[in-house]
């Protein structure tokens, strides 16, 4: 891109200022070389990418913690039920033992029944045998319940320990996310207005070049003719209504979203439940060739599947980009595409 001498001077000054800002912010050595605007953009991309990777790990673990809380509640309920059953069976076993001691194996209420209506009662030997069998069943049930109580108690204790460990990991991911976002924001806060405009222009230029190269590859020649399914169109309609809402890591609506929060909620609105994170969406949903993608499909980005968008047709997608940005429409090929998945295959 051609520049006037004045513009070149301003660009040089901007680079020097940015270099000093990055040196202070990122703890570079005193003799570090000044950074160019492309290098500044690369550094910001790196920080935000690390934040996004940590966000998706946080989202996955957050879902796991929620499931563990539910299971722990179920186990505690089972423990309480087993304790009540154990108490009842203990009482029955004690009553049976006392009855055998007093009546030679025949409960007092049975003896009363015999005396009251002897014609309908069984003989004493048969009743004694039945009483003994009943007592044995009570004792057996008591042993089974005691074992169940121990098992459920151990499972609850193990689940609680795993829950505590995962909560600690959540805190670690949360700190990583905030550290990366804060570092990127410190870099951005030192940019002057002209530098911000130049950086934004560089981002657009890079995205446009990537999109143009993607289109030239012919990938849209057949994809452009494929219509979305009814559910896919509903997912696109949902995402379109969310345009302009801010990116917030870990958010899944209704006021803000991260990348996979938006895609999972869009498909939830279409009546299809899909995994929460971009990695799980890539791992579990059916993969389709990029040349056959249709509106509503999810485009997975980066080698680590750390970003996801919703394809809306005509080479465009809707996504929640990163902190400081809003849900927006962007060129689908403006980032490194890993692949495409279809939630309603």
The active-site residue, picked from 27, 49, 173, 259, is 259
The DSSP bridge pattern shows strands 286-288 and 337-342 to be antiparallel
Long-range contacts of 311-319 (CB under 8 A, 24+ apart): 311/340, 312/236, 312/239, 312/240, 313/224, 313/228, 313/236, 314/224, 315/211, 315/214, 315/215, 315/220, 315/224, 318/236, 318/239, 318/240, 318/242, 318/243, 318/262, 319/259, 319/262
Active site residue 8: no
Nearby residues of 18 by Cβ (< 8 Å), 6 or more positions away: 34, 35, 37, 40, 187, 190, 191, 195
The active-site residue, picked from 27, 49, 173, 319, is 319
Task: Count other C-beta atoms under 10 Å from residue 268's C-beta.
Answer: 16
Token reading at 83:
């304790």
d(CA 67, CA 121): 55
d(CA 139, CA 132): 11
Active site residue 307: yes
User: Residue 328: which H helix or E strand, with range?
Assistant: strand 328-331
Q: Is 108 exposed, middle or buried (0-12, 13-18, 19+ CB in 10 A)?
A: exposed
d(CA 141, CA 279): 47
Catalytic residues: 259, 307, 319
């Amino acid at each position: 891109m051609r520049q006037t001498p004045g513009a070149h001077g301003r660009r040089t000054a901007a680079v020097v200022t940015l270099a000093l800002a990055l040196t202070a912010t990122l703890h570079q050595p005193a003799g570090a070389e000044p950074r160019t605007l492309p290098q500044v953009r690369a550094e910001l991309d790196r920080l935000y990418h690390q934040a996004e990777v940590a966000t998706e790990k946080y989202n996955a673990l957050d879902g796991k913690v929620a499931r563990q809380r539910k299971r722990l509640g179920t186990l505690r309920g089972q423990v309480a039920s087993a304790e009540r059953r154990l108490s009842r069976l203990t009482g029955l076993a004690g009553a049976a033992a006392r009855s055998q001691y007093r009546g030679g194996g025949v409960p007092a209420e049975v003896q009363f029944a015999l005396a009251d209506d002897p014609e309908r009662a069984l003989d004493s030997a048969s009743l004694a045998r039945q009483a003994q069998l009943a007592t044995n069943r009570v004792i057996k049930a008591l042993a089974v319940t005691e074992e169940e109580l121990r098992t459920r108690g151990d499972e609850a204790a193990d689940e609680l320990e795993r829950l505590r460990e995962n909560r600690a990991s959540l805190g670690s991911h949360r700190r990583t996310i905030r550290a990366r976002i804060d570092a990127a924001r410190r870099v951005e806060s030192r940019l002057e207005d002209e530098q911000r405009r130049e950086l934004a222009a560089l981002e657009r230029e890079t995205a446009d070049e990537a999109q143009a190269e993607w289109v030239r590859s012919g990938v849209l020649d057949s994809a452009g003719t494929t219509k979305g399914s009814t559910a896919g169109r509903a997912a696109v309609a949902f995402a379109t209504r969310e345009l302009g809402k801010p990116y917030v890591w870990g958010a899944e609506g209704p006021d803000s979203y991260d990348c996979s929060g938006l895609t999972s909620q869009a498909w939830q609105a279409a009546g299809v439940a899909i995994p929460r994170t971009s990695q799980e969406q890539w791992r579990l949903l059916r993969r389709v060739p990029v040349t056959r993608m249709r509106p509503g499909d999810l485009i997975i980005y980066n080698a680590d599947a750390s970003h996801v968008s919703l394809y809306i047709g005509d080479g465009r997608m809707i996504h929640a980009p990163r902190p400081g940005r809003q849900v927006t429409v962007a060129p689908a090929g403006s980032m490194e595409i890993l692949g495409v998945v279809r939630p309603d295959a």
